[in-house]
Amino acid sequence: MGCRKLTYRGKAGRQVFRAFGQERALESKAVFFRGALEKKGHSDFFRLNAYTYGFNGKERDTNLGGGTHYDYGFRIYKPKYARFLSTDPLTKSYPMLTPYQFASNRPIDGIDLDGLEYLNSTSVYSEGIGVAAGITYGFNIATSKGTAADMIGITKFRTYSLIGPANQDLEEGNRKAKTIYIGEASADIGVKLAYDKPTFVQAAKAFNLSFSTASAKVGIGGSLQFGEDVYGIRVGIGIGASFKSGNQETIFWSVSLTQDEATKAGYFGKDWFVGDVEDIKVGKVTTFTGQVYSNGKATGVIVESGANEIKTQQDDGTTKTTYKPKGLWKSSGYSEAEKEYDK
């Protein structure tokens, strides 16, 4: 939330504050505490225009008696108790939660959308280079790397785009069709947001459904990305203009850690890679484990990946089977938390 410094002083028996170079009468000032409870002696907003909205952007009601209440649509929230006054209509679907909970008991990383369920999302930052050209049919060659923050923790990932007429999936009715119009070459950075997609995998699937990009660059320029509950914006340096439909990126490597593990490893401005890789075979199932390195330094955080089976024909006519990591690495803590969101 953006903030601006305000100054106020006594003047002719009243309080005034100065903001944006003007002085105005001060009738109240905002002081919020846990659960949106107001500090005694203060109201929850500058009431210069009788503003009636407050905590989480919900309408404030002071006419019910017993202090301030907020109307969430399906229920009334009372900040004095940090609870709703009625049971959750979806209680039967969430037996692990109290019927009076707020935001699924996660007020730090989510808000309560309407008194029913809390709102969560996954945000993605990435940077890359690429070139694309075509009229419906065409080609797109690009590579990028990025960082995603979801409701569990942090994911570092790398992608590539290698799109041509052979894999554009332009059959009629295909929601994943990859079209390319006009052309451009650029290097850019950007952010994407997937609403109500609490994990990186769920967000990646959402980006994969008719995610479109409209771009224009001559020198410095930008692009907009949009889809079903997903939005993005990019800026960069390049030349040309294009419109691309469908997600044209393939994630070939990623490391997903819980927030505590990511903090331990360090993730802001850091590059991760997985070293000390070992294969583990239990019955017919092969998996790989490795240690996360951050800017070349061992972190002690262990991650796991599934395996790709590779069969090669030998000169003597026999077939040799080997295994390589899929490259989508996750810590055990992240994987366990992810299961809860997949229920």
**Domain ranges within the chain, ordered by starting residue:** 31-119, 122-253, 255-341
Whole-angstrom Cα distance, residue 190 to residue 124? 8
pLDDT value, residue 290? 97
3, 31, 74, 82, 117 from 34: Cα distances, Å: 19, 11, 22, 8, 20
Fold for 122-253, please state it: Lipocalin (2.40.128)
pLDDT value, residue 20? 44
SS3 296: coil
pLDDT of the chain, 343 residues: tens digit per residue: 344 444 444 444 444 444 444 444 444 444 444 444 444 444 444 444 455 777 767 788 877 767 788 887 778 888 887 778 888 777 776 676 777 777 766 665 566 655 555 567 888 998 999 888 888 788 888 899 999 998 889 999 999 988 888 877 777 766 667 777 778 888 889 888 888 788 999 888 877 654 566 777 677 777 777 776 778 888 888 888 877 776 668 899 999 999 899 999 998 889 999 999 999 988 888 899 999 999 999 999 999 999 999 999 888 889 998 999 999 999 999 999 898 887 6
pLDDT value, residue 88? 77
Whole-angstrom Cα distance, residue 194 to residue 302? 28
Q: Are strands 250-258 and 328-330 parallel, antiparallel or unpaired?
A: parallel
Whole-angstrom Cα distance, residue 157 to residue 251? 7
Whole-angstrom Cα distance, residue 338 to residue 155? 13
pLDDT value, residue 47? 44
Report pTM: 0.64
